[in-house]
Amino acid sequence: MALPPPDPQFVLRGTSAAVHTLHFSCGGQEPDVPILFSGSENGFIHVWNLKTHRVDTALDGHGRKSVYCVETMGGKNRLLSQGRDQRICLWDLAEGRTSVTDSVFTENVGFCRCSLLKVAQGRWLMAMAAKALEEVQVLELPSKTSVCTLKPEVGAKLGMPMCLKLWQLSCGSQPLLLAGYEDGSVVLWNLSMGKASSQLVCHQEPVMSLDFDSEKAKGISGSSEKVLSIWSLNEQQNLQVYKTHKLVNAGVSDITIRPDKKILATAGWDHRIRIFGWKKMKPLAVLDYHTATVHCVSFSDHKNPSERLVAAGSKDHRISIWSIYTQT
């Protein structure tokens, strides 16, 4: 039997708007304070102090348009954020600063979160949905040089890219991109050739979110349907359906595999967060707190496993923080 679901360890209130993205920065040593960044519909990024459970800083860089992606770049003082103002901003937060140091105008009207991959010290790749609806553009940061533009073949009818995940097998190996599209396909792109290596129809509806475990060469995606699709990548770099997992209720906004690859979390349109074992998709917990759609879910990067948390952001303006399965 599954354990009865826990209550949140604590709840963060005060965004005054729906929360669309979350990102932890808890890997530092004392006296570094563990931080959670949240991006909300009113255009603010809140920097939450996880010791006091209060906002340390509110960043305003997206003209009050919804912020739907926040990532750190090698530490909590360098931040990247993406908003519905069609801008991706780079922030310098060192020594109390709250300044946008650079920005990229995406000219993309969708809400596909960009993806970031560290490729060398101080060098990153960023994939983002491009101006042309079906295309993905890959830039190098901080130089903003274009690496490639990934265009589906003529007549492919993939629709818009909905979610992106840059990854590499090991440091220094070929970076690759997994992209989920409007037609329900997941496509593996080879960046050096600028070509699709493999394509798999995983859903009948647009792919809302995906995550990938490069060690097991296995990924997972969700859509507006009642099913999670689990797929794998064989030696020849071909995507194959591994299995599907039926959900109780339809609609997944976000999926994330914990960094240790043991469990994963989904954010549901049914207001719930679901936790699964990654190896066999065993349902481990249903976290029931929110009163509206859960938009995002994120695992913390604490060095000590017993301190690890999962956070969820919802349309109900609240962020729930949970401590779960710390013993696994």
Q: Which tens digits make up the pLDDT trace of 41-83?
A: 999 999 999 999 999 999 999 999 999 999 999 888 999 999 9
Strands of the sheet containing 272-277, edge to edge, are 252-257, 263-268, 272-277, 283-288
What's the average model confidence in pLDDT over 172-177? 88
Per-residue pLDDT at 1: 47
pLDDT surpassing 70 at residue 2: no
CB atoms inside a 10 Å sphere around CB 109: 11
pLDDT surpassing 60 at residue 293: yes
pLDDT 10s digits, 241-271: 888 999 889 899 999 999 999 999 999 999 9
**Residue 4 confidence class, pLDDT cut points 50, 70, 90:** low
pLDDT surpassing 80 at residue 100: yes
Which SS3 state, helix, strand or coil, does residue 163 take?
strand
Asked if 104 contacts 144 with a C-beta cutoff of 8 angstroms, the reply is yes
Which element (helix H / strand E) includes 12?
A: strand 10-12
Per-residue pLDDT at 115: 97
Peptide bond into 5 cis (omega under 30): no
**Which tokens in the block code for residue 65?**
């348009």
Phi, psi of 18 (to 5 degrees): -60, 140
pLDDT 10s digits, 101-115: 999 999 888 889 999
Burial of 159 (0-12, 13-18, 19+ CB in 10 A): middle
Mean pLDDT, all residues of the chain: 92
What's the average model confidence in pLDDT over 12-17? 93
pTM score of the predicted model: 0.94
**Residue 20 confidence class, pLDDT cut points 50, 70, 90:** very high
Share of the chain above pLDDT 90, in %: 79
What's the average model confidence in pLDDT over 81-93? 95
pLDDT surpassing 80 at residue 327: no
